[in-house]
Structure 1
Amino acid sequence: MKIEVLVDIKTTLGEGPQWDVEQQRLYWVDSMDGRILRCTAEGSELRGWEVGQKIGSMALRKHGDHALVAMENGIHDLDLGNGDLQLIIDPEPGMTTNRLNDGKVDRHGRFLVGSMDMQEEKGSGKLFRLDPDLSLHVLEEDIICSNGPCWSPDGKIFYFADTWTGEIWAYDYDNASGKVSNRRTFAKVDTSGGGAADGATVDAEGCVWQALVYDSKLIRYTPDGEVDRVIEMPVRKVTSVAFGGPDMDVLYVTSMGKPPLPRFPGDGQQRGSLFAITGLGIRGVPERRFAS
């Protein structure tokens, strides 16, 4: 196994890596600085888009060179060709202390995205599902900080975390309707080192990979919620993970250059970098595009 800095760009809050199989490109965001970034598997051909607001997450769309962008004041369409933004829907109008955070597309092209209290104290957030017809549905409420949405390879189990509960949850997921049910605790997060559950993904073996932000660790959980592997990273504030590369066997890891609140710890010289881990012998599951 080898861990290396792929792009030394010092994102304030790097998040949401996702590999697009069609373009063979990696996308990720700088949440606090309002940027979407893209590079090749080797970290070259870096390109960025400025959107002028905090970003929680993004997802490429099926048709045209467009992306969904979950921002402070709603979900927008971004034309990647000319940079134009158009509001699709604001799930929480008037909620000035909330913003949208982590989001991902399910196996049938729906976008699930959660909101968060920007002080990470109140349970004012929700989990939403945006369908391809652009209708919006509330799936979960009373969330402090939405994080880590991902699915089992067959799409029948949905994983999600409210960062400060110390748990990762699993739900039964209805692929036909996009409804969730039967929430249970999938895993207890080891917070003894000051860490908390952040971004996550699922590999082809059905194991869940989760970034333990503020504690330098990536955790691999088996499908039954047992810790299978722990990888120590060279920075404390690892934020999210995604498999990609031509063979889907590279684990890309985003990190945070500056904590969003003063109570959170600082970090070393490599803070904010995009990392690549090779030699794991594990492949990921390709991410879907939003189906409209």
Structure 2
Amino acid sequence: MRIEVLVDVKTTLGEGPVWDVEQQRLYWIDSADGRILRCTDDGRELRAWDVGQKIGSMALRHHNGESAIVALQNGVHTLDLKSGELTLVIDPEPHLPDNRLNDGKVDRQGRFVFGSMDTLEDSASAKLYRLDADLSLHTLDEGIIVSNGPCWSPSGETLYFCDTWSGEIWAYDYDLATGNVSHRRTFAKVDTAGGGAADGCTVDAEGCLWQALVYAGKLVRYTPDGQVDRIIQMPVKKVTSLTFGGPNLDTLFVTSMAKPPLPRFPADGQQRGALFAITGLGVQGIAERRFAS
């Protein structure tokens, strides 16, 4: 196994990596600075888009490869990647000024599932949403502080999700036809003894879930029955999210933050904010879908 810095861009709050198999490009975001970034699997051809406000997550669109769906501070928008033009789709929480939209990902059928968060990371005012291809919005869960890590089992029939400060990863039964959820249960307990907290997740081809343990500098792999299978110690503490990519979907890309969002969180080393690539894991990921609109 080898861990290396792929792009040293010092993202204030790097998040949401997405590998697009059609373009063979990696997208990720700087949530705090309001940027989307893109590069090749070896870190070349770096490009960035400024979206003008905090961003929680993004996904490319199926019917328009030069367009994305983005969860911004003030609602879900479409983004024209050629012109940079943003168009509001829906703002689900205009009555909650201390909330913003956060982590999200596309399910196996092309629906965009994302959540919101309390920016002070204190109040359970956030929700988990699903945006369908017809741009209709549906609430899946609520009473959340910080939405993070939505991803699915290889079959798509189980949705994994975590509220960062709950100390748990949850699993839901996920209806493939409707995108509705049921039977929420605890998939795994998160080891928070070292000050870490649950952040971004992905699932590999073997059905194991990988999670970034932010503030603890660890990546944790869980078996399909929720047991810890592997722990990787990263060179920085504030790892935030991860995804598999590259031509063979066997490189694990890991984002990190250069500056903690609140003063109570710890500082970090020189490589803080970098995008990392881990090779030699002997594991492949699953190709991410585009938003079906």
Q: Does TM, normalized by the shorter one, top 0.5?
A: yes
Residue 16 of structure 2: aligned partner? 16
Paired with 1:129 and 1:41, the residues of 2 have a C-alpha distance of: 30
Paired with 2:93 and 2:165, the residues of 1 have a C-alpha distance of: 21
Q: CA deviation at 1:94?
A: 2.4
Residue 154 of structure 2: aligned partner? 153
Q: AA paired with 1:55?
A: I
Residue 178 of structure 1: aligned partner? 179
Q: CA deviation at 1:178?
A: 0.1
Q: Secondary structure at the match of 2:267?
A: coil
Residue 261 of structure 1: aligned partner? 262
- C-alpha offsets along residues 163-214 of structure 1, whole Å, 9 cap, x if unaligned? 0000000000000000000000000000000000000000000000000000
Paired with 2:204 and 2:92, the residues of 1 have a C-alpha distance of: 30
Residue 219 of structure 1: aligned partner? 220
Show the 5 A alignment for 1:187-226: 187-226=188-227
Residue 246 of structure 1: aligned partner? 247
Residue 283 of structure 1: aligned partner? 284
- C-alpha offsets along residues 9-50 of structure 1, whole Å, 9 cap, x if unaligned? 000000000100000000000000000000000000000000
Show the 5 A alignment for 1:110-189: 110-189=111-190
Paired with 1:179 and 1:26, the residues of 2 have a C-alpha distance of: 29
How does the TM-score come out when normalised to structure 1?
Answer: 1.00
Q: AA paired with 1:153?
A: P
Q: AA paired with 2:60?
A: L
Q: CA deviation at 1:151?
A: 0.1
Show the 5 A alignment for 1:3-42: 3-42=3-42
Paired with 1:193 and 1:180, the residues of 2 have a C-alpha distance of: 32
Paired with 1:22 and 1:260, the residues of 2 have a C-alpha distance of: 34
Paired with 2:131 and 2:217, the residues of 1 have a C-alpha distance of: 33
Paired with 1:94 and 1:177, the residues of 2 have a C-alpha distance of: 28
User: What stretches of structure 1 move > 4 A for 4+ residues in a row?
Assistant: none
Instruction: Calculate the aligned-residue CA RMSD, in Å.
Output: 0.4
**Is structure 2 residue 92 aligned with structure 1 residue 57?**
no
Q: CA deviation at 1:221?
A: 0.1
Q: AA paired with 1:189?
A: V
Paired with 1:109 and 1:93, the residues of 2 have a C-alpha distance of: 26
Residue 106 of structure 2: aligned partner? 105
Q: Secondary structure at the match of 1:164?
A: helix
Paired with 2:190 and 2:95, the residues of 1 have a C-alpha distance of: 33
Paired with 1:105 and 1:270, the residues of 2 have a C-alpha distance of: 30
Paired with 1:86 and 1:94, the residues of 2 have a C-alpha distance of: 20
- C-alpha offsets along residues 95-132 of structure 1, whole Å, 9 cap, x if unaligned? 11000000000000000000000000000000000000
Paired with 1:35 and 1:153, the residues of 2 have a C-alpha distance of: 30
- C-alpha offsets along residues 79-106 of structure 1, whole Å, 9 cap, x if unaligned? 0011000000001112110000000000
How does the TM-score come out when normalised to structure 2?
Answer: 0.99
Q: AA paired with 2:46?
A: L
Paired with 1:78 and 1:63, the residues of 2 have a C-alpha distance of: 13
Q: Which runs of 5+ in 1 are unaligned?
A: none
Paired with 1:107 and 1:63, the residues of 2 have a C-alpha distance of: 16
Q: Secondary structure at the match of 2:165?
A: helix
Q: Secondary structure at the match of 1:68?
A: strand
Q: Which runs of 5+ in 2 are unaligned?
A: none
Q: AA paired with 2:99?
A: N
Aligned residue pairs total 292
Q: Secondary structure at the match of 2:286?
A: coil
Paired with 2:39 and 2:83, the residues of 1 have a C-alpha distance of: 18
Paired with 1:35 and 1:170, the residues of 2 have a C-alpha distance of: 30
